[in-house]
Amino acid sequence: MTDTFAHQAVDDAVGRERARIARELHDGIATELAGAISLFKVYLERQNGQPDETLTNVFEILEGALKAVRESLAELRPAAIGPEGVVVDLRRQADEFSRMYGIRVEISTVGTEDMVSTQQREVVAQVVRESLTNVRRHSGSTICRVRLGFAARPFLIEISDEGRGFGGGAPGGYGLMGMRERAAGIGGRLEVVSTRGRGTTVFLFGPN
């Protein structure tokens, strides 16, 4: 088996496992949380404007937990690339991300995606989405810049922030292993440069 086929097999296996976990989350904890929230809403509406403060706090915690689960589901089951291409899709997602979290996302492009395969576009989209999630969860930055460089071979994608950064290796929870696996699956590679207090940049290099 060639390296390309081996990477594809690994990527397929990872995709199947992510889909399985997503199904279990959706059919399990997400459904149970949604049911509990519905019951709480009924109860709170019956309190004539004087709901119990403790129960109100519990209700808010449940709503936050359901939101977090749904965000995880979206990351585990990313939407397929639309007919307008990965650049248009990412611009829409960046606008939504900015509205939801107050983090400005600036996307610039060099060249076009015409020579990039469907699988490569999917990896680009996944890496950008997961990088944005890391910016939101870990960096504390109020801005993220995404540069989609398709003019040369290999293509180069850069996602940078101005957040707290890190030193001595990436901390747990950054999801870098998954992004590196996806990059390897298309014959590319992923590198991360970060300086504590000065931000982080993720580089995705396409195949040669």
Question: Looking at the structure, do residues 100 and 187 belong to the same domain, yes or no?
Answer: yes
Is the same domain home to 132 and 170? yes
Contact 199, 160 (CB under 8 A): yes
Q: Which of 19, 47, 76 is the last residue of a domain?
A: 76
Segment (H or E) for 110 = strand 104-110
Residue 62 lies in a domain: yes
* Residue 90 shares a structural domain with residue 152: yes
- Contacts of 60 by beta carbon, 8 Å cutoff, 6+ apart: none
Instruction: Tell me the per-residue pLDDT of 88-134, one tens digit each, with 9 for 90 and over.
Output: 999 999 998 999 889 999 999 999 999 899 889 989 998 998 899 88
Q: Which residue, among 91, 193, 92, 107, has the nearest Cα to 148 in the 3D structure?
A: 107
pLDDT the model gives residue 1: 45
In this structure, is residue 148 part of a structural domain? yes
Q: Which of 54, 76, 98 is the last residue of a domain?
A: 76
Co-location of 104 and 200 in the same domain: yes
Q: Residue 30: which domain range?
A: 3-76
Any idea what the CATH number is for the domain that residue 145 is in? 3.30.565.10
Q: Are residues 70 and 103 located together in one domain of the fold?
A: no
Local structure of residue 58 (DSSP, 8 states)? H
Kindly give the pairing relationship between strand 143-149 and strand 104-110. Answer: parallel
| Per-residue model confidence as pLDDT tens for the chain (208 residues) | 455 555 555 555 666 676 677 777 777 887 888 888 888 888 777 877 676 788 888 888 888 888 888 777 766 666 667 788 999 999 999 998 999 889 999 999 999 999 899 889 989 998 998 899 889 888 899 999 999 999 999 999 999 999 988 765 554 444 677 788 889 989 999 999 998 888 999 999 999 8
Number of DSSP helices (H) and strands (E) in the chain, helices first: 6, 5
- pTM of structure: 0.66
Residue 81 lies in a domain: no
**Domain-embedded: residue 164:** yes
For the chain, give percent helix, strand, coil, nearest 5. Answer: 55, 15, 30
Main-chain phi, psi angles of 195, to 5 degrees: -125, 130
* Exposure string for 187-206, b = 16+ CB within 10 A, e = fewer: bbebebebeeeebbbbbbbb
Give me the pLDDT at residue 125, please: 92
Instruction: Please state the domain count of the chain.
Output: 2
